[in-house]
Amino acid sequence: MSEIDVTDDAGLRTVHINRPDKKNALTRAMYAAMGAALREAATSPAVRVVLITGGSACFTSGNDVGDFKARGDQAADVPSPAREFLAALRECPKPVVAAVAGYAIGIGTTLLLHCDFVYAADTAVFRMPFVDLGLCPEGGSSLVVPQRAGQLLANELLMLGEAFTPETALRAGIVNAVVPLPDLFHTAGGVARKLAAKPPTAMATTKRLLRQAEEARLSAHMTEEFAKFGALLRGPEAAEAVAAFQEKRKPDFSRFLAAD
């Protein structure tokens, strides 16, 4: 099996993140494969709906650390597969459903903001630890999370960056519902198949109308986020965070001064 398994069945395309030995940590190749699966789904008449899952143990622990460090060494103008994946997710005209169990860390949480339906198992653990990594939010989260959750809860989730429960994710507008783990795939798959049975042109039009009012603002905001994220990724704070992780120690940010 590949690290991204793509299967089609009766109009439902399932994109399964399948790297369990690394807690489904995402590499550039995995982002590229997911982006390709979404772009192909967007143009394939046989695909009516997309379901994204990491299985019953872990959705994704976020970026692979070694791969992430290599990204920091790249030139600023090198295209990011993660950014291209998020663009493919945002632009997909077909409904996208996510089924989340276990860890959903970093982009594992922020990608959910661009899905149409999100169902979380009661085992799910969410976290957006960008500041702790010497980074800023990505994926439009610094715009979308305050809109959905309110400013104070958004501050908790994005500035403290601590793990939070499925119930908090529900309160923050990140998930539609929290269900027992044994019911997760029945629930998410059932919604996906209901969507697949609906008239496709009406569905695509409805999705576009629901999103178009905020699309220009979100696009501009994400462009700024990614620019600042990339600059921070190449900066000393992120380097300290990665080094501390690799050396199994607590990072020391005391020597850094605030700068925009």
Cα-Cα-Cα-Cα torsion 181, 155, 218, 200, nearest 10 degrees, comes to 20
- Beta pairing, strands 96-100 & 103-105: unpaired
- Write out pLDDT tens, residues 110-139: 999 999 999 999 999 999 999 999 999 999
| pLDDT for res 73 | 54
Domain-wise residue ranges, the chain: 1-182+198-260
Secondary structure of the chain in the HEC alphabet?
Answer: CCCEEEEEECCEEEEEECCHHHCCCECHHHHHHHHHHHHHHHHCCCCCEEEEECCCCCCECCECHHHHHHHHCCCCCCCCHHHHHHHHHHHCCCCEEEEECCEEECHHHHHHHHCCEEEEECCCEEECCCHHHCCCCCCCHHHHHHHHHCHHHHHHHHHHCCCECHHHHHHCCCCCEEECHHHHHHHHHHHHHHHHCCCHHHHHHHHHHHHHHHHHHHHHHHHHHHHHHHHHHCCHHHHHHHHHHHCCCCCCCCCCCCCC
d(CA 108, CA 122) in angstroms, rounded, equals 16
Domain 1-182+198-260 grouped into CATH 3.90.226.10: yes
What is the token pair recorded at 48? 């009516």
pLDDT > 90? residue 251: yes
pLDDT > 70? residue 189: yes
Q: Where residue 69 falls among pLDDT bands split at 50, 70, 90?
A: low
What value does the mean pLDDT take over residues 58-79?
73
| pLDDT for res 258 | 84
| pLDDT for res 55 | 98
Mean residue pLDDT across the chain: 94
Q: Where residue 185 falls among pLDDT bands split at 50, 70, 90?
A: very high
Amino acid at position 143, single letter: L
d(CA 32, CA 108) in angstroms, rounded, equals 15
What value does the mean pLDDT take over residues 139-151?
98
| pLDDT for res 23 | 97
Amino acid at position 134, single letter: G
